[in-house]
Amino acid sequence: MGRSTTRRPVVRIDLAGPPGSVRRPDELAAEEPLEIRVRKQPLAVTMRTPGNDIDLAMGFLLSEGMIAVAEDVTTAQLCAGTDTPNTYNVVDIVLGAHVPPPLTDPTRNFYTTSSCGVCGKASIDAVRTKSRFDVTGDPLRVPAATLAELPGRLRAAQRTFDRTGGLHAAGLFTAAGELLVLREDVGRHNAVDKVLGWALREGRLPLTGHVLMVSGRASFELTQKAWMAGLPLLAAVSAPSTLAVELADEAGMTLVGFLRGQTMNVYAGVERVTV
């Protein structure tokens, strides 16, 4: 497996300091392709930071509506691929005999990038997958003061970000603000898939009464992924998109954006945030 970081020489220029420049090593977040195969047939390629690749692949299949529980997967393993030296940038998943094989639509591009996992979709309708879980009746209630603490707790657990400054994070929290798992990746959607894949393997779905916190913006895709895992509340430190808000309304989810310091905007499901 590739490393999550790598060191490269850089030239450091500081206009506020003494004249000149300094050559020194810098640590960068790794970005490598991961091919996801189902029964040895290529399904998707995503640009990700190596690490937790099995969780990433299983979270991807979950958020695409192909699997619902860990028992839907018979085996999941990293494969060597064709690179030299081997980077193990292939995950092969064998689904149970009871699980229908994925139907690949030629109008839909399953190639995703680290910046946006939806960019290759043929249309919004192609990704508006209906979740198996109904979150409208989820009884979760979270004090606004608890939500205000989540960004700091998320940031404090970002060990790779501390070294590189170049990774997104997704964290799964309890209603009391306890961090259960955190994953980092160059792609927002990959970080979320790694969290959801972990929850799937741990038998925690649906994630009733939990909060998903992300370090960037709240996109349509991240909202959909949260819904597919049965999450009632998605919080982000930055802005949501219009489609994210519309989907949260449709799903009965709570969507919180601009969660910074002591302030936040609740764009949907305000009844779950208590003051």
Contact, 62 vs 197, CB < 8 A? yes
Phi first, then psi: what are they for 210, rounded to 5°? -115, 165
Find tokens 């399904």 and name the residue: 43
Catalytic residues: 116
| 173 sits in which H/E element | strand 168-174
Of 23, 269, 29, nearest in space to 161 by CA? 29
Within 13 A of 72's CA, how many CA atoms are on the CB side? Answer: 19
Helix-helix angle 242-251:220-228, to 10 degrees:
20
Task: Quote the CA–CA distance of 50 and 1 in Å, as a whole number.
Answer: 7
> Among residues 218, 192, 243, which one has the least CA distance to residue 62?
192
Instruction: Please name the residues in contact with 103: beta carbons below 8 A apart, sequence gap of 6 or more.
Output: none
CA distance 252 to 227: 9
Phi then psi dihedrals of residue 119, to 5 deg: -55, -30
114: left (phi over 0), alpha (psi -120 to 50) or beta: alpha
